[in-house]
Amino acid sequence: MGKKIYEKSFKEKLVKLHLEEGRSVASLTKEYGLGQGSLNIWIKKLSQRMQPNRNRNKRFRIT
């Protein structure tokens, strides 16, 4: 069996469901039929791009 390729939009959808709606990794992997390892990797990679970098603004703040 070969490696399954998922569309970027599909990955982003699942990551958003996890981060924004609080869905668990277990519930998403069961519902969509994929491995927890795959989803955890997507969350790690995509969450950095999808969430604004809060520390970036703090470095340049003048008080």
Could you read off the pLDDT tens digit of each residue along the chain, which spans 63 residues?
Answer: 678 899 999 999 999 999 999 999 999 999 999 999 999 999 999 988 876 655 555 555 555
**H-assigned helices in 1-63:** 8-21, 25-32, 36-50, 54-59
Contact between 15 and 43 under an 8 Å Cβ cutoff? The reply is: yes
pLDDT at 55 (0 to 100): 53
Tokens representing 16 are 């958003």
pLDDT at 36 (0 to 100): 92
Tokens representing 48 are 């950095």
pLDDT at 25 (0 to 100): 96
Distance of alpha carbon 62 from the chain centroid: 33
pLDDT at 1 (0 to 100): 62
Domain ranges of the chain: 8-51
pLDDT at 51 (0 to 100): 64
